[in-house]
């Protein structure tokens, strides 16, 4: 799947406008966004220290096995970046990797199987619901949608099936303190359960306002009243 850029027009209306990579953000922009979203300099320093402690000496990155290992230091690392349940660590690894390493037109299969420090920091910033898209506009909003899509693409097949979509909707409801009803999920899905949603189709859902009343834009546009760690708590 190519890396696409999106822009917001009105409430919850997203359109593809150009091809752009998340890695066009400078290191300084990433650090500034991290600090603006409440990720302290101390936390960034801790992430750097633990990252370099476990990074592969050849690739200078974390591979999946290391990131998901039961090593005490790596468990601490995941706690530092607020991934406290192992079942979500793999999702986060793929989402962070997509943010930091993807290039325009690059297929997911072509992603190196490692996580850069830059990709990890960018992932933390983009996934933070309290951050603001205003400093970077379309590009940053596109990064967030890409991250959300990849986070819930549990089988990494570049689509959401019904179960992955339902997983996403459950978390939306939880963020709004609502119980999830199966018929609500079916209504929002609005298609045969055997169908799948590509990233473009997810965008189409948003453009039609189908998810507006369920709080989709709350997670997409950063202006939601969640706590600094609300995104992670919602998934744990």
Q: How confident is the model at residue 40, as a pLDDT? A: 78
User: Rounded to whole angstroms, how far apart are CA atoms 117 and 114?
Assistant: 10
Q: Tell me the residue range of the domain where 104 lies.
A: 4-235
Q: What is the pLDDT of residues 142-179, one digit of tens each?
A: 666 777 787 778 787 888 899 888 877 776 666 556 67
pLDDT band at 236 (very low <50, low <70, confident <90, very high): very low
Percent of the chain with pLDDT over 90: 1
User: Could you tell me the two tokens for 144?
Assistant: 């967030």
CATH number at residue 172: 1.10.238
Burial of 107 (0-12, 13-18, 19+ CB in 10 A): exposed
Q: How confident is the model at residue 132, as a pLDDT? A: 52
Q: Is the pLDDT of residue 104 over 70?
A: no
Helix (H, G, I), strand (E, B) or coil at 63: strand
pLDDT band at 56 (very low <50, low <70, confident <90, very high): confident
> What domain count does the chain have?
1
**Given phi > 0 = left and psi -120 to 50 = alpha, else beta, which region is 156?**
left
Q: What is the pLDDT of residues 32-41, one digit of tens each?
A: 777 766 677 8
User: Rounded to whole angstroms, how far apart are CA atoms 153 and 55?
Assistant: 26
Q: How confident is the model at residue 44, as a pLDDT? A: 82
User: Rounded to whole angstroms, how far apart are CA atoms 160 and 167?
Assistant: 10
Pick the more confident residue, 161 or 109.
161
Pick the more confident residue, 166 or 212.
166
**Mean pLDDT, all residues of the chain:** 64
pTM of the predicted structure, to 2 decimals: 0.57
Q: Is the pLDDT of residue 103 over 70?
A: no
């Amino acid at each position: 799947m190519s890396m696409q850029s999106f822009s917001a027009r009105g409430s919850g209306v997203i359109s593809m406008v150009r091809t752009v990579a998340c890695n066009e953000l400078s290191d300084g922009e990433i650090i500034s966004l991290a600090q603006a979203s409440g990720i302290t300099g101390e936390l960034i320093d801790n992430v750097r220290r633990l990252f370099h402690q476990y990074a592969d000496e050849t690739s200078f990155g974390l591979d999946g096995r290391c990131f998901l290992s039961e090593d005490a230091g790596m468990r601490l690392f995941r706690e530092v970046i607020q991934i406290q349940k192992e079942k979500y660590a793999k999702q986060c690894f793929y989402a962070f990797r997509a943010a930091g390493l993807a290039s325009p037109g690059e297929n997911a299969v072509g992603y190196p199987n490692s996580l850069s420090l830059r990709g990890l920091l960018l992932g933390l910033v983009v996934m933070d619901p309290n951050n603001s898209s205003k400093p970077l506009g379309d590009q940053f909003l596109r990064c967030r949608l890409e991250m959300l899509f990849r986070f819930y693409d549990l089988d990494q097949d570049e689509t959401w099936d019904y179960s992955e979509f339902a997983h996403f909707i459950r978390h939306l409801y939880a963020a709004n303190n609502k119980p999830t009803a199966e018929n609500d999920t079916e209504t929002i899905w609005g298609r045969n359960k055997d169908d799948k949603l590509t990233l473009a189709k997810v965008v189409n859902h948003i453009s039609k306002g189908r998810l507006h009343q369920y709080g989709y834009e709350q997670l997409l546009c950063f202006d939601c009243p969640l706590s600094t760690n609300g995104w992670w708590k919602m998934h744990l």
